[in-house]
Structure 1
Amino acid sequence: MMRSTSSTIRTRRAARAAAAVAAGALALSLTACGGGDDDKADDGGSGTPSGGAQTGATVTLPKLDGTTLEVAAVWTGAEQANFKKVLAEFTRRTGAKVTFVPAQDPIINFLGSKIAGGQPPDVALLPQPGAIKQAVEKKWAKPVGAEAQAQLTKNYSQGWQDIGKVGGKQYGVYYKAANKSLIWYNAKALQNAGASEPKTWKDLLSTARQVYDSGVTPFSVGGADGWTLTDWFENVYLSQAGPEKYDQLAQHRIKWTDPSVKQALTTLAQIWSKKDYLAGGADGALQTEFPASVTQTFTGGDQPKAAMVYEGDFAQVNIGETKAKVGTDAKVFPFPAVGASAPVVSGGDAAVILKDSKAAQALVTFLASPDAAVIQAKLGGYLSPNKNVPESAYPNEVQRTIAKALIASGDDFRFDMSDQAPQAFGGTPGKGEWKDLQDFLKNPSDVAGAQAKLEKDAAAAYGGGS
């Protein structure tokens, strides 16, 4: 998830490349085999998945014995636990003691309260370009140093570097990426329904009908987390309206009352308006948080609460909490083409320095290197925009294919639209786009009403107009 556009976030990416990624590596039938939560990151020993020291280090880090660091992020559960292992390797190599600080969303508000209290973390992982821009405008964020910049230049495409810039300066290091154009499915449920992986939106509706006729609810939707609904919208809108319109709406250069938005919402309503197609109906979806939307799709054998769940590659973390095996029990297909080509929507989390120090700069340098990313890649449910992370670091063929497609896309991707918007519109629970789409899920017949709410909230957040 990410928000607020700046000149460095201009989406210069070509539609042909987005289509190529979707139709190429991601359009493969992804059917290969899959493969302590306290606050102290260094409690885990070496932090490497095998429990031993990491070999083949590509970046030299300073000795920081006696130094302490705090790192804040909104990550929870397995995602947080896996990141702590990365921090533990940093501790092993430098001697710095690192504490993970769980943050609440929106993280900018969380950081504001910490800074007001005189206790900002040293580094924060920000899930929105808009949040980076806000942190710079508030004079919280510090530019990255020469060592981190060298790692970025060596390991990242220009597009991923630019997303972390504000006013031409590098403030964010994108440690984590996401492919948000995937639909995961319970293989047994689709097989029993005689359904195949859809390539188009029309095919998806047919697959949903086959699943429904077999006695299984087609979709699980984590509507309690409004950001999942923005992701649904973005994929439909990008594929249907095209990249140029997507960029215009992301920057509020066209209004949410535009006919293209009406068309996308009307398309979404083809699924959202069918209460029997959603696990628990709309009311149930609005009470289901994202992790549960995934796990309920892969529990219950061939009679799960739902057969399919839309979200990014990171859903693997939650699939891992079930007995389902990625590649056999849990499979995935690219978000189907609604228009001329399938969408490719990306997201990510960037490390930003809030307290400039040798240790903080060293940590961000480490996170920009392949060394850090390889550790978390091996643990699954993680995708790095670092082009020098070997495909072999990913634990299964599904994840390797997704990673290969991300790197192959280079600069040719579209970044999550709500993450480019001001946080007040695109990144605050219970407000703005999140709330407006939750209301639309509750009443998908009121397309015009949804558009009016979205435009009102967008205009206020962007400063009064398109």
Structure 2
Amino acid sequence: MMRRRTTLLASCTALALALGATACGGGPVSAGGGGKSLSGQTITVAGVWSGSEQKNFQKVLDAFTEKTGAKTQFMSTGDNVSTVVGSKIEGGNAPDVVMVPQVGVLQQFAKEGWLKPLSKTTEQSVDSNYASVWKNYGSVDGTLYGLYFKAAHKSTVWYSPDALDQAGVKPPTTYDAMLKAGHTVSESGLAAFSVAGQDGWTLTDWFENIYLSQAGPEKYDALAAHKIKWTDPTVVEALTTLGKLFKDKQLIAGGQKEALNTDFPGSVEKVFGPKPEAGMVYEGDFVAGVAKDQFGKKIGEDANFFPFPAVGGGKAPVVSGGDAAVVLKDGKNQKAAMQFLEYLATPEASAVWAKAGGFLSPNKKLDLSSYGDDVTRETAKSLVAAGDSVRFDMSDQAPAAFGGTKGAGEWKLLQDFLRDPSDPKGTAAKLESAAAKAYQG
């Protein structure tokens, strides 16, 4: 879905690196030398990517071809991966590999019996090269089905250095300090935050960062699995914290009404466009691509980020998203598909897209020099350093009816809460009602 994908994503200029980096030293790795063992075979790979993301992933596919001789075909599914893949399976034309953008969809595919367990070689690479949390998110009932190749870091607050300098404030390290800094920015002539309320997914991300920091990872996991109800006091507390921001007209560009009419690209424009209206915008690392490609900003100079700050007495959160590669049972070339996933599990494969830009890898063996600029390196370093404290986007773990549908479920209810944040307890009750129905279904 466009949430977290953004075909506007883009690349930061990359180092003139050869096609990859070794796991330990950062020296060049040749994409060849694979013996062309798959010559004459073709694998079909389906995913949501289009635009620059598809173009950059094609470089990974081309590197695999150069290494193995296998031909590849990419099929863009659009947002509704499960429907498209299901119809392809029913029609006897299943792709070999699918890049799945949500934990909930991966679990759905496994429960439908559509997936093959990944090879021992891939599993060994995951055990060696990834924090165990990524293996957990790629597994269903203890069996590894998904390899997380591309990740997003969704605990980054992006800001205009000029705006903060003009206000005389430095990047804050606590949530309260962030709101205080926001008031100072507002007093200097710009609103503090641009909020993309028209896109409900951005509001779920705001909630998730606050909840993870304030309630802690155990409660986060329980709420993500609906093992505790949305009426739990920790949810009401997080909504109350979020509501303080939403109802403060000094802090939000144009107030609640304008926020509800601002989509994600528009929220970035309000900070980094030709006529700035706000000093900061919260969203994932993909903000950098929009700021650079759409508005010509130099990342690290004209646009920078600070980590989403700790809330209350909690730790600073690290919320992530990502795309997992899976192999379909009904694909026509499973052997080559398995070898493709073995390749994707290597730092060599990740280095190809890291070089192209607009990419983060959860593979801790990928040399950070593979990334093309210091800000992307810092973002990647933060994601990998978080280790097992990383938590996958909660709404992406939920059934789509609750966590991933425009105008329904969590998206709509948090938009309603932005419109009127006066009743956190009532909003929690509505969220629980919608969640109960979706999880039961």
User: Aligning the two structures, in what range does the TM-score lie when normalised by the shorter sequence?
Assistant: 0.7 to 0.9
| Aligned counterpart, 2:296 | 323
Partner of 1:419: 396
How many aligned residue pairs are there?
Answer: 418
Q: CA separation in 2, counterparts of 1:334 and 1:420? A: 23
1:237 aligns with 2:214: no
Name the counterpart of 1:115: 89
Q: C-alpha displacement at 1:419, in angstroms?
A: 2.2
Cα distance, 1:307–1:164 mapped onto 2, change above 3 Å: same
CA RMSD of aligned residues (A): 2.5
Could you tell me how far apart the structure 2 residues matched to 1:114 and 1:210 are? 54
AA aligned opposite 2:414: L
Question: Given the alignment of the two structures, is residue 353 of structure 1 paired with residue 316 of structure 2, yes or no?
Answer: no
**Distance in 2 separating the partners of 1:192 and 1:298:** 15
The counterpart of 2:358, out of the listed 374, 381, 405, is 381
Alignment of 1:59-458 (within 5 A): 60=34, 62-275=36-249, 277-300=251-274, 303-321=275-293, 322-340=295-313, 341-354=315-328, 355=331, 357-458=334-435
Residue 16 of structure 1 is matched in structure 2 by: none
Please report how far the alpha carbon of residue 276 of structure 1 lies from its aligned counterpart in structure 2 after TM superposition: 5.4
How far is 1:136 from its partner?
0.7
Q: Is the 8 A contact 1:61 1:362 kept in 2?
A: no
Aligned to 2:23: none
Distance 1:287 1:239, change over 3 A: same
Secondary structure of 2:114's match? coil
**Cα deviation per residue 1:420-446 (whole Å; 9 max; x = unaligned)?**
222322223332212221222222223
Q: Please give the per-residue CA displacement for 1:59-80, whole angstroms capped at 9, x wherever unaligned.
A: 9475333433332222343333
Check 1:285–1:96 CA distance in 2 against 1; reply closer, same or farther (3 A cut).
farther
Give the direction of change, closer, same or farther, for the CA distance of 1:290–1:122 in structure 2 (3 Å limit).
farther
CA contact (8 A) 2:169 2:181 kept: yes
The alpha carbon displacement at 1:155 in A equals 2.1
Amino acid at match of 1:293: S
For residues 92 and 419 of structure 2, the distance between their equivalents in structure 1, rounded to whole angstroms, comes to 42
Matches of 1:372 and 1:451, distance apart in 2: 43
- Hey, what's the Cα distance between the residues in 2 that align with 1:459 and 1:337? 30
- Is the 8 Å Cα contact of residues 171 and 353 (structure 1) preserved in structure 2? yes
Q: Return the alpha-carbon distance in structure 2 between the equivalents of residues 319 and 181 of structure 1.
A: 17
Structure 1 residue 406 displacement after superposition = 2.5
Q: 1:295 to 1:393 in 2, by over 3 A?
A: farther
CA distance in structure 2 between the aligned counterparts of 1:209 and 1:463, rounded to whole angstroms: 43
SS of equivalent to 1:351: strand
C-alpha distance in 1, partners of 2:440/2:61?
A: 39
Structure 1: how far apart are the matches of 2:254 and 2:327? 42
Gaps of 5+ in 2: 2-11, 21-27
Partner of 1:43: none
* CA deviation string 1:17-40 (max 9, x = no partner): xxxxxxxxxxxxxxxxx75xxxxx
Partner of 2:285, secondary structure, is coil
2-side partners of 1:103 and 1:288: how far apart? 26
1:227 alignment partner AA = W
Structure 1 residue 261: deviation in Å? 1.2
**Using a 3 Å threshold, how does the CA distance of structure 1 residues 60 and 241 change in structure 2: closer, same or farther?**
same
SS at 2:278's partner residue?
Answer: coil
SS of the equivalent of 1:320 reads helix
Cα distance in 2 for residues equivalent to 1:385 and 1:151:
12
- 3-state SS, counterpart of residue 98 of structure 1: strand
Separation of aligned partners in 2, 1:378 and 1:214: 39
Q: Is the 8 A contact 1:106 1:429 kept in 2?
A: no
* SS across alignment from 2:159: strand
Which runs of no fewer than 5 residues in structure 1 stay unpaired? 2-33, 36-47
State TM-score, norm by structure 2.
0.87
Q: Does the residue aligned with 1:429 lie in a helix, a strand or coil?
A: coil
The CA distance in 1 between the partners of 2:234 and 2:217, in whole Å, is 12
In structure 2, C-alpha distance between the alignment counterparts of 1:254 and 1:360, rounded to whole Å: 39
Relative to structure 1, the CA distance from residue 103 to residue 282 in structure 2 (aligned partners, 3 Å threshold; closer, same or farther) is farther
State the AA in 2 paired with 1:349. Answer: D
**For the structure 1 residues 283 and 92, does the alpha-carbon distance in structure 2 shift closer, same or farther, using more than 3 Å as the test?**
farther
Is residue 70–residue 98 contact of structure 1 (8 Å, CA) maintained in 2?
yes
TM-score (normalizing by structure 1): 0.82
Amino-acid identity (%): 51
The alpha-carbon deviation at position 373 of structure 1 amounts to 0.6
Q: Structure 1 residue 408: deviation in Å? A: 2.5
Is contact 1:61-1:366 (8 Å) kept?
no
Tell me: CA distance 1:192–1:415, structure 2 relative to 1, closer, same or farther (3 Å): same
Whether contact under 8 Å (1:266, 1:447) holds in the other structure is yes
**Aligned partners of 1:316 and 1:380 also within 8 Å:** no
Amino acid at match of 1:182: T
SS for the counterpart of 1:377 is helix
2 CA distance for matches of 1:49 and 1:140?
A: 39
